[in-house]
A and B are shown apart, each in its own frame.
Chain A
Amino acid sequence: MSAIQTKYPAAQAILNDAEQMARETLGLNQEPLSNPSSDSVVHHHYHYYRDPFWYWTPRQTVTVNCGNGTPVPASGKKKDSKNPDALLIAAASAVVFMAASWFIAGAARELKNLNLKRDELDLRQALTVDEGSAQTVKPVVEGQKRLIIHQKEEAKIGLFLKGGVLASAAATGTGAFVSPILLSAGILAGVAAATAMVVHSGYKEGDTTQQQEADKLLASVTHARNFVRV
């Protein structure tokens, strides 16, 4: 049993949690750091954070664009539910709708998990104050909070964009039967939302702030462990 575990069990829990979070963000394995030095700064090449939904994005874009080239029922022509174009558009919209619902559920769960993580962190911090090790874990807790805030911002943007795809798919599907204007608006909004989703996925890849925060967090965990060990 290490010194920190016997002295400050709550602090140990915070450090373990922070280390796991930083490693998850950086895409590293879950093994503990081997022989860390007190002032070591973690140097490595970043494993860019990838949106798990990215691999679906091209398919979504294609599905949304499907409506673009599809001939809209000519004005004056009677629009009935047997119209194969309208059925095709509605089927494509339903597929996009279901996929977007699934994505949105995933993004909402991610956001909820981050909120829970934040609450748990506050609780653990309150417990640690009593043990007198607050100063040791303070930078770690601050670093973890910064990382959570960053991840929450990303999750919120992702949720908003996925919501946009969902709404535009619903509008396109409805518009296929009801009104050509709604259909066109739905298609345009869908293209815009899908474009924004693709740009956002690229943005996440290029934004190294999160990796930097995770690196800092990992370094502060190492420092805190060594500080208590000394």
Chain B
Amino acid sequence: MNLEAICPAVQKCKQDLSWDVNNFKNRLANQKYGFWTAVGEMTGIGTLRGIGKDWAQIRCLNRTVQLIERSAGEIRKEYESLPEYPNFNAISEIYMNTQSLLNHSYKTFQEASDTSKGALISKLFYLGSLGIMGMGASLGSTLVTASGLGLSVLMGSAFLFRANYQDGDFWAQSQVKNLELHLNHLNKQWDHIQCQESAVPLAAEPSANTKSASAA
């Protein structure tokens, strides 16, 4: 029997997660924080673009988190309505493994979303302090300009520190590696049970050769 027909939600979840994990891995590989990136992001326009970029990343990650939540619900329902199969124990093991993978992915993507939120907020604060400085200069107030300047130096330092911290934080990379391993394990388990499932009807019904041999 085809395993895809028995547990379609698991199959869909496996496929979706593999794309999301791959996408996240590529994004991590691309977000290296070099010197010129830092210089670019300290200019007002670069900060604005950075805000847009972080916002998009938060949206992408939140979409993945929602997908995980939905998949978890579907898988739970599918498991509860699963009828008795000869290979039931192995199939239920796949469900348990998928749930564990979903939990793991949920934590990873939620954490990544929080990191992007932090980056977005730090950029907003930096931009705000630049705005205060500009406003003070245009109003001709030394106090406001000096406050804006002081704040922008402070916020800029915090923003740079944060960005470099993110660059040196290998937690996300290790989590993605773990997710990939988990997914590979699930795929292998799936293939193994698929082989067993397709072998069940053969074992139940003897082949023509066996019949002729027993007759002789």
Q: 1/0 per position for A181-200, CB-CB distance to B under 8 A?
A: 00000000000000100111
A207 to B54, CA, bound (A): 9
Q: 1/0 per position for B37-65, CB-CB distance to A under 8 A?
A: 00000000100111111111101100100
Q: Is B108 an interface residue (CB 8 A)?
A: no
Verify B23–A205 contact, CB threshold 8 A. no
Verify B48–A202 contact, CB threshold 8 A. yes
Verify B55–A199 contact, CB threshold 8 A. yes
Known contacts A58-B45, A207-B59, A208-B60, A201 near B26 by CB under 8 Å: no
CB-CB < 8 A to B107: which residues of A? none
CB-CB < 8 A to A45: which residues of B? 26, 29-30
| B55 vs chain A, min Cβ distance (A) | 6
Q: Is A206 an interface residue (CB 8 A)?
A: yes
Q: 1/0 per position for B17-33, CB-CB distance to A under 8 A?
A: 01110110011011000
Verify B56–A207 contact, CB threshold 8 A. yes
Residues of chain B in range 44-98 having any CB-CB distance to chain A below 8 Å: 45, 48-57, 59-60, 63
Q: Is A43 an interface residue (CB 8 A)?
A: yes
Q: How many chain A residues have a CB neighbour from B under 8 Å?
A: 28
A134 to B8, CA, bound (A): 22
Q: 1/0 per position for A53-97, CB-CB distance to B under 8 A?
A: 000011001000000110000000000000000000000000000
Partner of B52, one of A61, A201, A212: A201
Most buried by B among A41, A48, A61, A198: A198
CB-CB < 8 A to B49: which residues of A? 198-199, 201-202, 205
Q: Is A216 an interface residue (CB 8 A)?
A: yes
CB-CB < 8 A to B138: which residues of A? 68-69
Verify A216–B19 contact, CB threshold 8 A. yes
A207 to B56, CA, bound (A): 5
Verify A198–B19 contact, CB threshold 8 A. no
Verify A212–B23 contact, CB threshold 8 A. yes
Q: Is A203 an interface residue (CB 8 A)?
A: yes
CB-nearest residue of chain A relative to B63?
A: A209
| B149 vs chain A, min Cβ distance (A) | 18
Verify A43–B52 contact, CB threshold 8 A. no
CB-CB < 8 A to B20: which residues of A? 212
Verify A203–B22 contact, CB threshold 8 A. no
Verify B52–A202 contact, CB threshold 8 A. yes
Verify A198–B60 contact, CB threshold 8 A. no
CB-CB < 8 A to A46: which residues of B? 26-27, 30
CB-CB < 8 A to A195: which residues of B? 48
A200 to B26, CA, bound (A): 21
CB-nearest residue of chain A relative to B18?
A: A41
| A127 vs chain B, min Cβ distance (A) | 29
A45 to B25, CA, bound (A): 9
Partner of B51, one of A199, A211, A212: A199
Verify A203–B55 contact, CB threshold 8 A. yes
Verify B23–A202 contact, CB threshold 8 A. no
Known contacts A207-B59, A209-B60, A216-B19, A198 near B26 by CB under 8 Å: no
CB-nearest residue of chain A relative to B52?
A: A202
Subset of 18 A-B contacts with CB under 8 Å = A46-B26, A61-B45, A69-B138, A199-B48, A199-B51, A199-B55, A201-B49, A202-B56, A203-B52, A205-B52, A205-B53, A206-B52, A206-B53, A208-B23, A208-B27, A208-B57, A208-B60, A215-B22
Q: A199-B52, A207-B59 are in contact. List 6 more A-B contacts (CB 8 A).
A: A58-B45, A198-B52, A199-B51, A201-B52, A204-B52, A206-B54
Pick the 5 closest A-B CB pairs, nearest first: A202-B52, A202-B49, A206-B53, A206-B56, A203-B52
